[in-house]
Amino acid sequence: MPHQPLVPAARRPESARSGILLVDKSGGLTSHDVVARTRRLAGTRKVGHAGTLDPLATGLLVLGVNSSTRLLTYVVGLDKEYLATVRLGAATTTDDSEGEPLGVSDAALVAGLDDAALRRAFATQVGSIVQVPSSVSAIKVDGQRAYARVRAGEDVVLAGRPVEIAEIELLGDARREQTADGHPVVDVDVRVVCSSGTYIRAIARDVGAALGVGGHLTSLRRTRIGPFPVTAAHTLDELRAFTDEGSTLPLIDPADIARQLFPVLEVTGAEATALGHGKRIPLPDAQGHGPLAAITPEGRLLGLVEIVAGQGKSIVNFPPDEYAGENA
């Protein structure tokens, strides 16, 4: 499906506007922190995100505002791209630099890591694999987050889950470094393209284990989710400047987002009215089952439609009042 340019939604009072906001998260913030600050800037409690980032990580968060939170379900499962630095020669309790050290590898083993060995180890992580998430992930175990159980002193081992890692590209030359205690380590910068649910920390851990030296993540930046690049995102400071200057947030119109995610169904005014009232419309030539993005003659996202026995049926509708003019 061709990607359309992402166009900010028309200006409306913040509390009434609906759209998608691309945020470039800085390090040290949780995804919840970003949502909370965006709620204040947007003047609404109806803000959600599509996929968390750890405090260590920076980069793209896709936020939905008001009724556009309904689109986040379809963003969560998109493929993702990351830039990361993997440190080989030392492991930690969290598989990243925020955890406690689990010891360092023998210096001779670290010294023996050459480019060929690194390429082979990272290649074992590419493709359809079963990955065991980090024990301090946000996965729930009996209703409680795994990281909360670990903090409470429990020994948590999560079940493996299938993930798809399309690509791991080694960027530049590996760097020979030393820890604060003088132990040798090797830092490798990588670009990873993977399915939703993949843990980059686990890749660092598993590559280190494959090499027999241990490994963990020292930096992580999410650069893309599906068709949405971090280069189109704004930092929280930039978003705050928008509102301080009296401008509205650069929300992307739901219709423009839907065109990125789904095949488009251009509906007539009569069809829009019927779908809005829960009725089905005849679509004898439509292929597949949906969802299709139903776009009105005015260019508004009416909702998402599925095909049932040659008829279109609404599965998600978007309220028209959130598309009112600037002074609504």
* Helix, strand, coil percentages in the chain from 3-state DSSP, rounded to 5: 25, 35, 40
The candidate with the shortest Cα–Cα distance to 177, out of 83, 94, 89, 57, is 89
- Furthest-apart CA pair in the chain: how many Å? 75
Catalytic choice (24, 54, 96, 256): 54
Phi/psi for 169 (5° steps) reads: -105, 125
Q: Can you tell me whether residue 67 is helix, strand or coil? A: helix
Active site residue 24: no
Residues 49 and 35: beta-carbon distance below 8 Å:
yes
218: CB partners within 8 A, 6+ apart: 85, 86, 87, 96, 97, 187
User: What tokens does 310 get?
Assistant: 């040659």
Tell me the H-state helices in the chain: 31-42, 72-76, 107-111, 115-123, 146-151, 200-211, 236-244, 254-261, 269-276
Task: Tell me the C-alpha distance between 312 and 282, whole Å.
Answer: 6
Q: Using CB atoms within 10 Å of the CB of residue 59, give its burial: 0 to 12 exposed, 13 to 18 middle, 19+ buried.
A: buried
Measure the CA angle with vertex 163, ends 162 and 169; round to 5°: 145
- CA gap 53, 42 in Å, rounded: 21
Whole-number Å distance between alpha carbons of 290 and 225: 21
**Residue 86, class by beta-carbon neighbours within 10 Å (0-12 exposed, 13-18 middle, 19+ buried)?**
buried
Residue whose token pair is 């963990």: 216
Catalytic residue numbers read: 54
